[in-house]
Structure 1
Amino acid sequence: MSEAKVLVVYFSRTGTTRLLAQAVAKMLCADLEEICDRSNRAGVAGYLRSLVDIIRKRPVEIVPAGRDVATYNLVVIGTPVWASSVSAPVRSYLVENRARLPHVAFLCSFGGRGADKAMTEMRELAGKPAIAECKVTAAQARRGANAAVAVFVRVLKGHIARFQALEWMC
């Protein structure tokens, strides 16, 4: 029986989603990859550029992924919530990889609201349901968000165990 391969990919403008993605990757012994876009999103101008990208739902140019999602059993995708939407770089990543994504799980950080809508949008962009979703406020993330992340990881580990048991039976 082979070990399940897990990839955690994320975009983080301010570092909040990065903290969550790193924690999940560490707990799952997963590979970690940052989604990098070619736009400068720093400061007020970057914030406004991000807002315009979301309102127009336009794709943004991202740096090509270094890891092939098709070689993984599970891909955890992390995004900040921008104006009740998935971030533009994650939107582009999902569109580019939709046909090759294996099982997916979603992770988001948000300021106050909009996480449910962003998760719905991620499911639509991925073209499949998530095996688990985790929504963490920025304040919780700064305090560690240990409980929410631990529950999320426990659900993912359960899924991985079932996947491995099914593989063994085949």
Structure 2
Amino acid sequence: MSAPTRTAVAPDALRAAARHWPTGVAVLTARWGGEEHAKTVSSFTTLSLDPPLVGVALSPRSPLVAAVRGSGRFAVSVLTDRQGALARRFATPGAGRAAGGFAELPVRPDPAGGPVPAGAAAWFAAELHAELPVGDHVLLVGRVTAVGADGGRPLLHHAARYRLLGPEIPSGNPTSVPTRGVGA
């Protein structure tokens, strides 16, 4: 028996294929050293119910990673379809680090992780539980200490664009899926 052949996958090819996977859009925040840090992410996921764990992947060079390490806490806010401008703001390099960066944005009372934008569909405050190197990123694993959910339609990311959730697929016959779905 021979060992499996490994084929190198070019980063651009991986990125192009991954664009076909729709994800939710969230903002990761932390407060440290008198500054508030924020970054739009689509790599957020729940990891465990017992203990309650969430994870988010970032570049290890992100100032937000240093802020989470320093404070030991972070918050993740799931954005709604009405928060596209907020997602774009914190997706811009350098826009998520400023003393009082949330001064002009309405935020919820501090859940002890980081600022939580008002109107978020849901939020998770967490204490840093583990930090795992994963290729060219670091996975920040947080033990959830508080949550909240106001609901609303989620903001999605697909094919390098923000999208809206389309109509619900009728139950029953899976072949009767409407041709209209996720829209821009």
Please say whether Structure 1 and Structure 2 have the same fold, judged by a TM-score greater than 0.5: no
Normalised TM-score (structure 1): 0.26
Normalised TM-score (structure 2): 0.25
Higher helix share: 1
Higher-Rg structure is 2
